[in-house]
Amino acid sequence: MAQTSEESNGIVETIKTVVYALLIAGIFRTLFFQPFWIPSGSMKDTLLIGDFLFVNKMAYGYSYASCPSIIIPAVGLNIDAKDVCGLLRDDNKRLWAGLPERGDVVVFRHPASGRDYIKRLTGLPGDRVQVKDGVLYINDAPVALEDVAAFEETYAPQGPLRSLPRCENVPAGNGGICQKSRQIETLPNGVAHSILNIGTQSTDNTPAFTVPAGHYFFMGDNRDNSTDSRRRQQAGGVGFVPFENLIGRADRILFSSAGRSMLFFWTWRSDRFFKSVI
């Protein structure tokens, strides 16, 4: 049976509606807020695997990194921000720029791989940053540390990747209690947040890094389980991050899922709804 003109017009209108909706969503994601899901434990216990949050892209202004990347390996889709906004890259400038503050939890693009990372900003341009025996030094002064109760979690596969947590103790098999030492670290500007320790490793003692102009130094709160600026890019780390690579600031967790999918509402953590990121 041939389609009537009304049916054809209905299909066209449906397609137009979908296209408009995608354009509006793309503009919203590019200019205002970007959804971000936490896949790893590098920021525990500030951020847990399965936390879902929106990143404030207005906080630092806009650069090529503000353009969204669409990476879906299952269907071979790999559209990178530099493919869309590459002409704006490599000038290390931002439109309507706002400077980040020490202690901000920031989503940024890895300078080499282009993948999105989330870490805490610890070093500003011109700072001298070093870690000695697990203690952060900024401009040759150690940050203030206070011992608090250990962080505990269940030793079991976590999130869609089903990764096992690393522990300072030796848990009693699957389902046991996994512990990490916890301290409150206070940065020079007064920002206080918790950090975790698992054991002694190479990143507990680093050379002194002088942060170049227009760049930033980032560290994970789960200090012994984080790939960050303590390792140079040539050594598999992050190195210094250019200003233009910042995507936005993490301000608040919307909800959090302890299960394999954020759609499994019965695994949502009720105590993390709309929780501030500090």
Per-residue pLDDT tens digits for 225-263? 999 999 999 888 999 999 999 999 999 999 999 988 888
**pTM for the model:** 0.86
Which residues are known to be catalytic? Answer: 42, 119
Say which CATH architecture domain 11-276 belongs to: Ribbon (2.10)
Nearest partner of 56 among 249, 277, 245, 243, judged by Cα: 249
What is the mean pLDDT of the segment spanning 7-25? 51
Q: Is 236 left (phi over 0), alpha (psi -120 to 50) or beta?
A: left
Chain segment 177-188, per-residue pLDDT in tens? 999 999 999 999
Output the DSSP codes for 245-266: GEEEEEEEEEEEB-SS-TT-GG
Q: Residue 2 — pLDDT band, cuts 50, 70, 90?
A: low
Radius of gyration, CA atoms only, the chain: 21
Sort 253 into a burial class: Cβ within 10 Å, 0-12 / 13-18 / 19+: buried
